[in-house]
């Protein structure tokens, strides 16, 4: 079942429910902000005080960082690009079975986007809601020039407590520590007892989030980079739409094409970043 809904302020979203899972996706940002399998806890974390307002990014779920990840060289431009606060078109839906629903969203260049990023493009997000969550972000170059993108599906995972968490699958992978801007190499699994902000490269296997009572697997395709992030205490206190102590209940593992893994796309060519969560 697919239902079109609005919050009291008019903010539009789509609710999906089938025999496997339920989900909610905002048209602004094509932002998946809830995904929950039947009889299980939420996979995604969402801030209790997140903004659902025009032109404001939602805190939690899966923001889309595009056409750049992080800060642009021009500091006047928005962090993580403009896709996450743009209004997308809901193109279609398909109930493949009672337990699998696919939805397609589209964003294309406009006068507004061309002022920010002077390239013509088509961006499509296909989301499959089933026992497995699958997100396919397809960039097509509609311009006459090559362009380069970096991007991320900035997934906030709901966890019992950050002290109970380990991330497996990145041992011996090189990473850039965004807190020190030093290049390092991962040794063993990742645990959290302070702020972590790292961009891993040469990622060629699935990543496993181990929580107190469950494991979540993340498989990325057409990507060799991944980001791990938790803001910890001090940064959480400075961030918008974050309650005190919010950092204790989420960790971000982002499927990405970031930094060394940025992608050059030729005219009329496409690149699709795929993330599967199961």
Identified catalytic residue from 31, 80, 154, 271: 154
Q: Which is the catalytic residue, given 31, 136, 254, 271?
A: 254
Active site residue 249: no
Distance CA 267, CA 235 (A): 40
Report the DSSP beta bridge partners of residue 149.
263
Of 75, 29, 32, give the one whose Cα is nearest residue 54: 29
Alpha helix ranges (H) inside the chain: 111-116, 232-238
- Alpha carbon distance 165, 211 (integer Å): 5
Cβ-contact 247, 193 below 8 angstroms:
no
Whether 154 is a known active-site residue: answer yes
> Left (φ > 0), alpha (ψ -120 to 50) or beta: where does 170 sit?
alpha
Active site positions, annotated: 154, 254
């Amino acid at each position: 079942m697919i239902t079109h809904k609005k919050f009291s302020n008019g903010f539009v979203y789509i609710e999906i429910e089938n025999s496997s899972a339920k989900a909610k996706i905002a048209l602004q940002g094509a932002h998946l902000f809830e995904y929950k399998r039947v009889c299980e806890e939420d996979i995604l974390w969402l801030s209790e005080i997140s903004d659902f307002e025009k032109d404001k990014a939602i805190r939690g779920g899966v923001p889309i960082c595009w056409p750049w990840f992080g800060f642009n060289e021009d500091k006047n431009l928005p962090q993580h690009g403009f896709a996450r606060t743009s209004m997308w078109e809901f193109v279609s839906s398909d109930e493949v079975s009672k337990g699998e629903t696919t939805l397609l969203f589209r964003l294309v260049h406009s006068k507004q986007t061309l002022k920010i990023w002077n390239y013509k493009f088509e961006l499509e997000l296909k989301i499959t809601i089933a026992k497995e969550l699958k997100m396919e972000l397809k960039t097509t170059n509609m311009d006459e020039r090559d362009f380069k993108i970096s991007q991320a599906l900035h997934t906030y995972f709901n966890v019992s407590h950050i002290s109970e968490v380990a991330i497996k699958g990145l041992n011996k992978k090189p990473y850039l520590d965004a807190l020190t801007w030093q290049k390092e190499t991962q040794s063993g699994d990742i645990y959290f007892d302070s702020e972590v902000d790292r961009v891993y490269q040469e990622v060629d296997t699935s990543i496993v989030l181990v929580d107190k009572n469950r494991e979540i697997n993340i498989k990325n395709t057409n990507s060799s980079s991944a980001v791990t992030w938790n803001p910890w205490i001090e940064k959480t206190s400075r961030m918008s739409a974050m309650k005190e102590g919010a950092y204790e209940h989420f960790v971000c593992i982002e499927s990405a094409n970031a930094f060394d893994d940025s992608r050059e796309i030729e005219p009329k060519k496409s690149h699709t970043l795929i993330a599967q969560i199961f």
